[in-house]
Amino acid sequence: MIIVTGGAGFIGSNIVKQLNQSGRNDIIVVDDLTDGTRFKNLADCTIADYYDKDEFLSKIQANESFAAAIEVIFHAGACSSTTEWNGQFMMKNNFTYSKHLLHYCLSHQIPFIYASSAAVYGAGRIFKEQPEFECPLNVYGYSKLAFDQYVRRLLPTAKSQIVGLRYFNVYGPRESHKGSMASVAFHLNNQAKNDGIIKLFEGCDEFGNGEQRRDFIYIDDIVNVNLWLFDHPSVSGIFNVGTGRSQSFNDIAHSVQRVHPLAKLHYITFPDHLKGRYQSFTQADISALRAVGYTESFHTVEEGCAKYLDWLETQL
């Protein structure tokens, strides 16, 4: 049995779908479907059972067993809004909840693979999994860093796999429910399709118009890393998951223009409320991931966007 928390979300549902494609249907999905529209991410997936996140937490806290032995918990569930400033809510969802799952896994020796975030690095220019480079800009990033720090204290004595994955800028199918937190590729495609205008920020920091750079990683690459770790239970630690190269927002805009050639690119004033709270540059140092044996290549923006935009065209 495999458990995927946040299984109706962006990363979680893609993990479920790829597990199905590999022949695994014995999957428990855990999520919060208060927003019922998110069911769409699971409509073409096969699962064995579903638990509301609070019901699942109650079972975990009571140390209850499940119908079958649990092979792994992919903990993708979290509040991922970088603009959410309710710290009590954020820490309860991202820190305390994760601690309960972690200790359950440790007590039952169940592999635990969880979502961290590149938001832990803030506005730094070095993205390496070391404390001296970690300085989040928002409470979301802090909630992820706090749990990573907690994990670091337990890793030396852990008897089962614990892996934290610091995702960089993920884009791809099944993210539309994220609204304003959906990827740049998603929003630019909608702008081009609906308005014929692609809007990017004017220059900020030392970057020119639209030249702010991020490590954009396609969702299939994220899922591949998760499933590789599932197949390598001796690997534990906290790892960056990006492509290892930064590309500009302009690169995404140009990929969108290949699909919508009449769309015009327009630069808008950088908003005051994001000044000092915005990552103008990210680029994952993936040497630690490579060192433990992960050798697969990653999509470029051009390759990933081509696949994603083709997929979007098939959606109603």
- 3-state SS record for 154-213: HHHHCCCCEEEEEECEEECCCCHHHHHHCCHHHHHHHHHHHCCEEEEECCCCCCCCCCCE
pLDDT given at position 116: 98
Could you tell me the residue ranges of all domains in the chain?
2-171+216-245+280-299
CATH of 2-171+216-245+280-299, one of 3.40.50.1010, 3.30.310.50, 3.40.50.1100, 3.40.50.720: 3.40.50.720
What pTM was estimated for this model as a whole?
Answer: 0.95
pLDDT given at position 302: 97
- Clarify whether 264 is annotated catalytic: no
Residue 205: band (very low, low, confident or very high) from pLDDT cuts 50, 70, 90: confident
Return the minimum-mean-pLDDT range out of 82-96, 177-191, 291-305.
82-96
pLDDT given at position 203: 87
CA–CA separation, 174 and 164 (whole Å): 22
pLDDT digits over 121-144, tens only?
988 899 999 999 999 989 999 999
- Clarify whether 51 is annotated catalytic: no
Is-contact 73 112, C-beta < 8 A? Answer: yes
Is-contact 51 59, C-beta < 8 A? Answer: yes
> Which candidate in 51, 114, 121, 140 is catalytic?
140
How confident is the model over 277-285, as a mean pLDDT? 88
Residue 274: band (very low, low, confident or very high) from pLDDT cuts 50, 70, 90: confident
pLDDT given at position 235: 98
Maximum pairwise Cα distance, the chain: 58
Is-contact 8 33, C-beta < 8 A? Answer: yes
What SS3 state is found at 142? helix
Return the minimum-mean-pLDDT range out of 38-42, 83-87, 173-177, 243-247.
83-87
DSSP 125: S
pLDDT exceeds cutoff 90 at 31: yes
pLDDT given at position 316: 63
Mean pLDDT score across all residues of the chain: 95
> Which candidate in 40, 99, 128, 178 is catalytic?
178
Greater confidence, 180 or 210? 210
CA–CA separation, 203 and 259 (whole Å): 25
Alpha-helical segments (H) within the chain: 10-21, 53-61, 87-91, 97-108, 139-154, 184-194, 219-230, 249-259, 287-291, 301-313
Tokens 């852990």 found at: 158
The β-bridge partners of 214 are 247
pLDDT given at position 204: 82
How confident is the model over 299-308, as a mean pLDDT? 98
How confident is the model over 261-279, as a mean pLDDT? 88
Q: Which helix (H) or strand (E) holds 2?
A: strand 2-5
pLDDT exceeds cutoff 90 at 46: yes
pLDDT digits over 172-187, tens only?
999 999 988 899 999 9
Work out the percent of the chain whose per-residue pLDDT is above 70.
100
Tokens 């569930």 found at: 77
What SS3 state is found at 247? strand
CA–CA separation, 189 and 196 (whole Å): 10
pLDDT given at position 194: 94
